[in-house]
Amino acid sequence: MCQEGPSTCPEDGAWGAWSATAPCPVTCGLGVVTQRRACDAPPPRHGGRGCPGNSTRRALCGPRGACPDLVHWGPWGTWTPCERRSWGSISCQPAAGQQKRTRECVGRGPGGPPCPTQEGVGTIQLRACYNVQHCLLQGNWSDWSPWGLCNPPCGASPTRSRFRECQPIYPAYPLVVTGVTDSAPLNVTFWGRPRVRCPTLEGQQLRLEETRPCRNVTPCPPHDD
């Protein structure tokens, strides 16, 4: 029992009432509302303990009916391997092949509006290519990349790094060709992951990384329990 009188005895805090719930912020589907309360009924005094638990809570609101589907293009898929079927394998050769990738129109219902085409590109995209998959190529070291962000972004000892990479020297194949799909000129891209050889640099052959400590980094904020 406190013997110093009621004006100086420690008094633990107690939670006040939860705030009123705001209107649901969505017009369709499910939403989230947040309620708050303060440790002020009464607040802790004279070294008394604070309120246990959280000062906020979140809850779902709705549902308010299904949201209408928005018609849009999904992401492009990966390119197919570069090939020219009438020639057989064109790997590591100056023979242009062809690739394609596809995408889907998302959210279109039966009889609904189609996704808009962009410059004549719909569900399929084609391009001309040279196949350099696993081809042995000489390479050059890139310049240093910009310094990256501090990792972690706060605290006692974050670091940042930069790197140089061994980049392939592609063959001097023509970068514009005709006759792959039609008579129109086509730009050609190199496809595949070649095996690259660069002169050894500080004991590394493919990637060289440099790390240094960050300075004047702010402390991490305390975690809210």
The answer on 135 and 101 residing in a single domain is yes
Give the residue from 52, 67, 82 where a domain finishes: 67
What's phi and psi for 78, nearest 5 deg? -75, 155
User: How far is the C-alpha of 160 from the C-alpha of 176, rounded, in Å?
Assistant: 41
Longest dimension (CA), the chain: 100
The whole-number pLDDT of residue 223 equals 64
Contact 31, 62 (CB under 8 A): yes
The answer on 125 and 180 residing in a single domain is yes
- Tell how far CA 80 is from the center of its chain: 23
Q: Is the pLDDT of residue 224 over 60?
A: no
The answer on 110 and 84 residing in a single domain is yes
Give the residue carrying structure tokens 């020219």: 84
For the chain, report the end-to-end CA distance as a whole number of angstroms.
Answer: 30
The whole-number pLDDT of residue 138 equals 95
What percentage of the chain has pLDDT greater than the value 90? Answer: 43
Which 8-state DSSP code applies to residue 87? G
The answer on 79 and 171 residing in a single domain is yes
User: How far is the C-alpha of 167 from the C-alpha of 145, rounded, in Å?
Assistant: 13
CATH of the domain at 1: 2.20.100.10
User: How far is the C-alpha of 120 from the C-alpha of 114, rounded, in Å?
Assistant: 14
pLDDT greater at residue 146 or residue 9: 146
Give the residue from 67, 89, 106 where a domain finishes: 67
Among 84-93, 105-114, 211-220, the range scoring the smallest mean pLDDT is: 105-114
Instruction: Taking residues 143-164, report their average pLDDT.
Output: 92
Strand pairing of 124-131 and 186-191?
parallel
3-state secondary structure of 80: coil
The whole-number pLDDT of residue 157 equals 86
The string over 106-122, giving b where at least 16 C-beta atoms fall within 10 Å of a residue's C-beta and e elsewhere, is eeeeeeeeebeeeeeee
Among 132-136, 168-172, 181-185, the range scoring the smallest mean pLDDT is: 181-185
Question: Is 155 inside a domain boundary?
Answer: no
Give the residue from 43, 67, 91 where a domain finishes: 67
The answer on 32 and 9 residing in a single domain is yes
16: left (phi over 0), alpha (psi -120 to 50) or beta: beta
What pLDDT digit, counting tens, does each position of 41-98 carry?
888 887 778 888 888 888 888 776 777 667 888 899 999 999 998 888 899 999 999 9
What's phi and psi for 141, nearest 5 deg? -75, 135
The answer on 77 and 62 residing in a single domain is no
The answer on 133 and 55 residing in a single domain is no
User: How far is the C-alpha of 15 from the C-alpha of 40, rounded, in Å?
Assistant: 6
User: How far is the C-alpha of 155 from the C-alpha of 219, rounded, in Å?
Assistant: 5
Question: Is 152 inside a domain boundary?
Answer: no
pTM higher than the cut 0.75 = no
- The count of structural domains within the chain is 2
Residue 62's domain comprises 1-67
The answer on 191 and 125 residing in a single domain is yes
Q: How many residues does the chain have?
A: 225
Question: Is 107 inside a domain boundary?
Answer: yes
Question: Is 148 inside a domain boundary?
Answer: no
The answer on 185 and 99 residing in a single domain is yes
